[in-house]
Amino acid sequence: MPQHGRRLCPLFSGESHLVTCWVVGREPILREATTVHLLRNVLNQVKHRHPFWTWGYVILPDHLHLLLTPKAHTLGQIVEAILEGFTDDYQQMMGIPGKMAIWQPGFRSQIAADVDSFATCLDFVHFNPVHHRLVRRPEDWPTSSYPHWVERKLYKLGWGWTIPSRLAKIHWE
């Protein structure tokens, strides 16, 4: 079981959000390494223009989850910049003229209002590839912040090999 609680208290202040964005038609365009690399570049570019803390992320073939805390800009500005930046760069990379919809309109956001909800959101992010049966263990998924948190000893190896108790009753997307 993860070592949550007081360890997370200094990690965030203000409003942290679990953001989910889906590709139109759940098209699995994010399964390709070049596309994931493109998305990571866009995330870094947006982070410089619209600063935010990233606590957790997972990039799945047809959607992504980010647990973040805005610093100076609104959550809407940050997510819009990510989605628009990726769309523009993806279209350019693929040689697609004009404007097309890559992402479903809008995004889902859940506020992580306290340490427990923050920990649940972080667990949700890291368990998501297992939930979707893409891998059997969180550490087997290549595009996640899970290894970062294992290295920092928030999670012990073996976490997420079965459904974590804190996630047993949540509503999955």
Question: Three-state SS for 64?
Answer: strand
Which of 72 and 80 is assigned the larger pLDDT? 80
* Full-model pTM: 0.88
- The values of phi and psi at residue 58, to 5°, are -150, 135
Taking CB atoms within 8 Å and a gap of at least 24, the contacts of 72-77 are 75/15, 75/17, 75/19, 75/109, 77/50
- Taking 3-state DSSP, the helix, strand and coil percentages for the chain, each rounded to the nearest 5, stand at 45, 20, 35
**Which of the two residues, 169 and 125, has the higher pLDDT score?**
125
Q: In this predicted model, what pLDDT tens digit does every residue of 112-127 receive, in sequence order? A: 988 888 999 999 999 9
Q: Which domains does the chain have, with CATH numbers?
A: 6-158 (3.30.70.1290)
